[in-house]
Structure 1
Amino acid sequence: MRRAADTQFLVNEAQALLTRLQTVRSFALSTPMVLAAAVSAPAQAAINSHLAHVAFDLRRKLKTFIEWVRSPESQGVDAEHSQARYVLLKLRFNSLLDQFDIFADVLSQRGEHGTGTWLAGLDVLAEDALHLPGDYYEPPPLMCFLERGHGAAIRRARTRLPGGDDNPVGVIQIPRERMVGSGIASSLIHEVGHQGSELLNLTTTIRAEIDQRVAEGGPEQVGWQLLSRWLNEILSDFWALAHLGIGATYGLMSVVSLPSYFVFRISTDGPHPFPWIRVRLSIALGEALYPHPQWTDLTEQWSALYPITGLPAGKQQLITTLLALLPEFAQLVVRHRSPTLRGQPLADLFPVAERQPEHLQALFGEWQVRPALRDECAPSLVFAVIGQAKADGRMTAGEESRVLTQLLTRWALNRARNYCLARPAPALSPAPRRHPPTRRSGFLSPS
């Protein structure tokens, strides 16, 4: 039998949760930012709708719990089991706050002068890199935020948030130290590649092809096993290459330029290729997509920066085995076909023809005469052209930063302008609502 004091304690605690729940307000009411810095309208709608749904579901459960605790039917339940029911609701409330903080970390940066607008421009770049002609999938909304450190990461849309709910948007973390330069696109589109590869089920279908090589045995078996283990990260690098050309590889080289100990630190049980072979994988995939002497030059440059001579014999042997597999592996990836790809080679899904070095170089020459032509191009193509120009020594880092800062701002403004134009103008004398929306907390009732 539960005591009256126990009942009152549980009621007070549940009501306290209800009170705190009312302070969780919609981001539309609490996050200051200029319009150009805002995340996309689909992303805003998805986040607010998701959090509103979770908040109203929790409110309903809390009210049901309070009614149950006060009812005669609960009096025969001991305090321990009543407390266990309450604790589950408290954990659900904490998971809601965890979810809220994930999105708040992203949105709070949009209020920073300059940074917020650049991030909105990067949102546009990310969405461009995720979109594939042909409607192979429905791309989710994406939004970016900056974090300290050198690495990038993504919390993919349609994966689990704290509490088990599906994430309504893709949240991409990118390193602050790479703002603003063409290298940021390499990190960003690599993370977009994680989302895109999952939507196309590439890791599963390509791994099945690699596993056939593993089953054949022989001295190359270990190399194929490692490529299979690293495949998810390799495909994300491929996604960046397919949009950026050699700029993706140069961006990768910048990320993994570390002391030699770390560059050659080989882990055979993790998802990431060790840095030295990761760059060589990028070069091999780049050469398969865009045949050109520049890849040989880049190979020589990387080998000069980090020679393998002097490494232990075992490491040298493993590297030699992997290098021998790279041409075949690269062809396996670019020519891969699957039902998800509708029988098309994987490379054909991407704008590979537009990213050929000669085409990028020609575009850069045209832009020098008519800079306004840049405004008509897709953001990923702009970054590809600038990355190629920087690789060719035709653009300095200062010029690169100045141009990209202007373009990120322009893309953000264009998106904000298009959003405003797409919204219908309010009537001068709007008809009164018959059923005004109810507000029981900071979130409007979900539809």
Structure 2
Amino acid sequence: MTEAPPELTAQLAHWRTAALAFDEAENFAAEWAWASLEEYLGITLRSYLARVTGRLRETGDALAADLRDAQDEAQLVLLRRRVLAFRQRVLQSEMVLDFYGDAVNTRTSPRLAALLSACDLLAAQSMTRVLTPLGHPVPPVLAYLDKGAGASVLRAGLRLWDAGAPSPVAAIKVVRHSLPLPTALLHESGHQVAHITGWTAELAQALAAEVGTAGPAAVWPDWASEIAADVFAFAHTGYAALAGLQEVLAGDVRAVFRYPLGDPHPIPYLRVLFGATLCRTAYGAGPWDGLAESWVRGYPLAEAPGAAREVIESSMTSLTQLAELCLLAPRRAFGGRSLAALVDPADVRPDALGRLEVEARKGRDRSVHWIWQECVRLLALAGWRVATTPGRASEFSATHEGWMLRTGAGARVAA
């Protein structure tokens, strides 16, 4: 038997000790932040983290045993490689644990914990309306706060940096400026739904059939994932989704006509006009027409670079057909139904939101249960009112934030 070199034994001991520190979830997020999660979400996430550290412990124990039993130099050479691979696995696992710990730790106060819990519920309810009728389980949602202009999602079911078990939750980034009116949250839950149902690939085929495979407009199928998410957010929140999207995409001329090859996002100029077309398709004339006119005046198409201008010009006459195709056409992903059949945009048309507002003013919003049931439509109501009554934007944002606080606080108490 060949004795293992002390430095190799010490190296393994170091990384095994490092992995043992991963056992405590509080090493990555404060105990209070963990406690602020709803029970099912906290259990799901802690169980996942325990599996990550359990695999490391088993690998480290096996390596230690093999190192003790090494018979010759050839085995030691293989063990050195395995120890280096174990070190890499520990570091990759730490990235996973840090990501979730940092996400949980953004719930730094009771207020933020309540707002983010409300975001969890908003995203989960939007997914439930599509996934449950189709027989798909709804993944837990972990909303977390971060800087920047736009939201993002780390989808449930994806394998993370440690190449281990797939992520058990949909982790959705919510940026600070949109937290009181997080319509972008539903764009991200739309990505998750599209991933689970296979909607994106089917939509790409339909878009290709509509615009063809040649000419500037043939790029639309490459945008299918982002278009699907935009349409999903629109179906749930109507004009509020467009108003929020326009706020994020507005910028200088270069930004609005940005068209890098391979980008899955539509050209911002087109993306806003497509959103206005979705509104017209579902509701007819309305304030979205004024938004679209202002958008076109503010960004003269003559200032667009050549390639972007060609795509825009070749797409403009097809926007209505594309909107109908995305919203109203039946899809295998939806069990032969259209998205609008599962999530009717009429539920958030302006007159329906007006009736919802009357109910809230009559005191229905004193019931946390009612707010839970209507939370997605209340988001649509607040976003619509902010967009159409800008002089009272602060008032309506504050009202919606109050609804979110009651929703999130109630969810944690119920858990």
TM-score, normalised via structure 1 length: 0.85
* Offset at residue 279 of structure 1 (A): 0.4
Letter in 1 for 2:216: V
Letter in 2 for 1:32: E
| Equivalent in the alignment of 2:142 | 143
Cα pair 2:234 2:242 within 8 Å, conserved: yes
SS at match of 1:197: helix
| Equivalent in the alignment of 1:168 | 168
1:130 maps to 2:127:
yes
Farther-moved stretch of structure 1 (140-149 vs 356-365): 356-365
After the TM superposition, which residues 43-442 of structure 1 pair with which residues of structure 2 at under 5 Å, given as runs?
43-71=41-69, 73-77=70-74, 79-132=76-129, 133-165=132-164, 166-180=166-180, 182=181, 184-185=182-183, 187-213=184-210, 215=212, 221-223=215-217, 225-311=218-304, 315-370=308-363, 372=365, 375=368, 376=370, 377-393=373-389, 396-419=392-415
C-alpha separation between the residues in 1 aligned to 2:390 and 2:176? 25
* Offset at residue 387 of structure 1 (A): 1.6
C-alpha separation between the residues in 2 aligned to 1:317 and 1:49? 51
C-alpha separation between the residues in 2 aligned to 1:178 and 1:238? 19
Letter in 2 for 1:231: A
C-alpha separation between the residues in 2 aligned to 1:318 and 1:338? 26
Runs of 4+ in 1 over 6 A off after TM superposition: none
Farther-moved stretch of structure 1 (396-405 vs 62-71): 396-405
SS at match of 1:171: strand
* Offset at residue 384 of structure 1 (A): 0.7
C-alpha separation between the residues in 2 aligned to 1:372 and 1:148? 31
Deviations 1:291-330 (A, max 9, x none): 3333322221222222324446664443221111111111
C-alpha separation between the residues in 2 aligned to 1:335 and 1:179? 30
Gaps of 5+ in 2: none
Name the % identity: 23
C-alpha separation between the residues in 2 aligned to 1:275 and 1:244? 20
Deviations 1:166-218 (A, max 9, x none): 111111112112232x2x22x1111111101111211111112223345575x
SS at match of 2:167: coil
Pick the structure with greater CA Rg: 1
Letter in 2 for 1:124: L
Change (3 A) 1:261 1:84: same
Change (3 A) 1:105 1:208: same
* Offset at residue 163 of structure 1 (A): 1.6
Letter in 1 for 2:335: R
* Offset at residue 251 of structure 1 (A): 0.1
C-alpha separation between the residues in 1 aligned to 2:304 and 2:64? 68
Change (3 A) 1:215 1:266: closer
* Offset at residue 103 of structure 1 (A): 0.3
| Equivalent in the alignment of 1:422 | none
Change (3 A) 1:390 1:401: closer
Cα pair 1:18 1:59 within 8 Å, conserved: yes
TM-score, normalised via structure 2 length: 0.91
C-alpha separation between the residues in 2 aligned to 1:216 and 1:399? 48
C-alpha separation between the residues in 1 aligned to 2:354 and 2:414? 31
| Equivalent in the alignment of 2:30 | 31
SS at match of 2:21: coil
Letter in 2 for 1:391: A
